[in-house]
Amino acid sequence: MLTRIDHIGIACHDLEKTVEFYVSTYGFEVFHTEVNEEQGVREAMLKINETSDGGASYLQLLEPIREDSTVAKWLAKNGEGVHHIAFGTADVDADAASVREKGVRVLYDEPRRGSMGSRITFLHPKDCHGVLTELVTSAPAES
């Protein structure tokens, strides 16, 4: 069961410049940064708020690190802007299977590693009214 909007992914050409815009304009703070080699991006997660299920909502700023990455190809075609929306779920495997049974194409056979140790999969935008949709199960909280 989807529990929240986990994040909205925004593709950009210059991560530092885009981070500076969101920090100076809205007062957001950078919560986490990383390079995801598998997906070919550098990213910054800007925390917006906490949520009732113990998670949070973020803006995820994505800059490609290589030309063959999905984000680089998307930027070349569409320019900077909203790339995807991600919904949080306690069980990405079960929710991916559920939507697959309803005829929605799930892009990964098995969930992959996402930001901050999460597990993710994507749903085909043509099956989601033109919106690339991500399902995210956050990494367990460290005790």
Tell me the whole-structure pTM to 2 decimals: 0.90
Phi, psi of 84 (to 5 degrees): -160, 165
User: Which domains does the chain show, CATH number per domain?
Assistant: 2-137 (3.10.180.10)
Distance CA 10, CA 26 (A): 15
pLDDT for the residue 93:
96
Q: What average pLDDT is seen over the chain?
A: 93
Query: Does residue 11 or residue 142 have the better pLDDT?
Result: 11
pLDDT band at residue 143, thresholds of 50, 70 and 90?
Answer: low
User: How much is the average pLDDT of 8-34?
Assistant: 96
Task: Give catalytic residue positions.
Answer: 7, 43, 60, 84, 134
pLDDT digits (tens, 9 = 90+) for 26-68: 999 999 999 999 999 999 999 998 776 667 899 999 999 999 9
CA 61 to mean position of chain CA atoms: 9
d(CA 55, CA 77): 33
Could you write out the DSSP letters of every residue in 85-127? EEEEES-HHHHHHHHHHTTPPBS-SS-EE-GGG-EEEEE-GGG
